[in-house]
Amino acid sequence: MTTTATPSERKIASVPPGLWRAATALLRKDFAHEVRTRQTVPAMALFSVTVFVLFHFGLARDTISGSLASGVLWVTLLLAAVVGVTRLFAAERDGGAGEGLLLAPIDRTAIYLAKASALLLYLALLEVVALPAFALLLAPGLGDGLPELIATLALADVGIAAIGALVAGLAAEARAREAIVPLMLLPLLVPVLIAAANASRPLLETHSHAAGLAKWLGLIGLYDVVFVLVSVALFDYLLED
Amino acid sequence: MTRTRPHSRGLPLLSSATAATVVAALSLAFFYAPLDRDQGVIQKIFYIHVPLAIVSLCGFIAGGVMAIRHLRTGDRSWDMRSYVAIHLSIVFAVGTLVTGSIWAKASWGHWWVWSEPVLVSFLIVFLLYCCYQPLRFSIEDPERQARYASVFAVTAGAFVPVNFLAVRLATQHVHPRVLSQSGSLPGPMLLTFLVSLAGVALLWATLWKLELSLKSSRMSLKRLRARLEAPDEVEAPVPEVAVR
Amino acid sequence: MTTVLASASGHYVAAAYVVFVALILLYLVIIAVRAQRTERELRELSALAEKRPR
């Protein structure tokens, strides 16, 4: 490192240099795999659109706003996240690359960072599809509170990705994986749901306004900090031999 | 692994203390504590519902702390302690939910109310910990099972306070809280509450020790059986047994 | 106290405490069953130990 490095650069540099490189390499590999096989993100996106259609028929409503819209949107996003989490380690499982991953001399933390970032990316891509679909099918008033909504989504995605990657690791070797992922993940995500839905509620009303946003975004922020730290600390103990 | 001190040590004393405290708490609740002005006799459920809630939550967090010890030391006895702590706290959580539901019915006329943050938080926490056993028993290798269970226990333990905060914020603007004592408790009620809390806490500790003692005896028995059934010449390797 | 307990709301209070006691007793039953199983295993192992040539 040159002497002209800023304090934050120096701090990042003090982390073992292999960690970032390894994480980025893994992330690139996962993303390339996803682009090639197109299994996870399309499934999540299609699932969310389908659920919107279900809600239309279930609620017998053409448009929804306010708390109803907020609830439908966030529950759908969470359920789509479950689909993504279940598939997060699928590439390693199906391709038998799991052992290969463990034999490589990389920090478990790098695997976690890569998986969590991948999940974050998938969620962002999901929302690029799901949000317009939601506006089209159920909530035409979506555009008004959009910047605040995007901020809420971004913060919530970080929390979902952090805890989702941990749960994916926990369930990776379990027998009834598809059943146990939603059962573990959804209660853990309730605080995110509470905060995000409450934050989005005024934004999705017919006259959208932002009310109490700071409190709810603060709660999501707290959740993010706690569970990123917890997950990073704990992931080392998973996937060991 | 053999412990130097058996789990059952101190158990008779602990259970006697528990019995005495619980009896004292019940007596205080029904013969000493004054009748609440607003809720009348229904308020007496407070002396069993809230201690169950507090002890259950502390038990979950204690289970998480024991799981941390297990992960850091690799000592499987900590995993067993964590397992029993969580197992027991789930039972106490069921007790919290049922007594809370009865209280809701008595106060509001409904068996469930969403306006009570303690009750709602407990439902979520309970649903989460229901995954603990299925997760454990879906992993066959005992060492990995213990490790993954501990990771779950720590995550869930960290989740409990965050969840409480979130639910509390969510229900703040809905109803005034009824199932807890608003304001400070008058002296006699406070005393009764503290003794009840002590009684339930001691009960948890006694049951924890008791179950631990039984479990570790059973595991020792399994190991003994394996040793006895092995051929004489070969010193049989002690097989790993999973906590059950 | 008894007249208050006999009222309808008193029934709810009683129910709550009965639930508490029932849970504890249920736990005790499970422990008792396990203790019995442990004793049986101990008996079997003692028999096994007897059979081994010393």
In tens, the pLDDT along A11-59 reads 544 556 677 788 888 888 888 888 888 888 999 999 999 999 999 999 9
List the domain range (segments joined by +) for residue B148.
41-213
Give the one of A174, A187, A226 whose C-beta lies nearest to B139's C-beta. A174
Mutation for B interface: A155, A237, A239, A241, most B CBs within 10 A: A237
Number of domains in chain A: 1
- What was the pLDDT predicted at B182? 47
| C20:B99 CB<8 A | yes
Residue A96's pLDDT band, with cuts at 50, 70 and 90, is: low
Judged against a pLDDT cut of 90, whether residue A109 lies above it is answered with no
Q: What are the angstrom distances between the C-alpha of B154 and each of A177, A233, B206?
A: 20, 10, 23
User: Domains in chain C: how many in total?
Assistant: 1
Say what the pLDDT of residue B30 is: 84
| pLDDT of res. A95 | 65
Does any domain span residue B173? yes
Confidence at residue B1, expressed as pLDDT on a 0 to 100 scale: 45
Q: Is residue A174 domain-resident? A: yes
Is the pLDDT score of B234 beyond 70? no
Predicted-complex ipTM score = 0.84
Region of poorest pLDDT, from A11-15, A202-206, A211-215: A11-15
The whole-model pTM stands at 0.85
| B14 domain-assigned | no
Structural domain boundaries, residue C29: 2-51
Please judge whether B130 and A183 are an interchain contact, meaning their C-beta atoms are less than 8 angstroms apart: yes
* B16 assigned to some structural domain: no
What pLDDT is recorded for position A17?
A: 60
Query: Which of A9-23, A130-144, B110-124 shows the lowest mean pLDDT across its residues?
Result: A9-23
Q: What is the pLDDT of residue A9?
A: 56
Q: Is A99 inside a domain boundary?
A: yes
Cβ pair B91:C27 closer than 8 A = yes
For residue range B192-212, what is the model confidence (pLDDT) as tens digits?
Answer: 899 999 999 999 999 999 999
The answer to the question of residue A43 being in a domain is yes
Domain assignment present for residue B184? The answer is yes
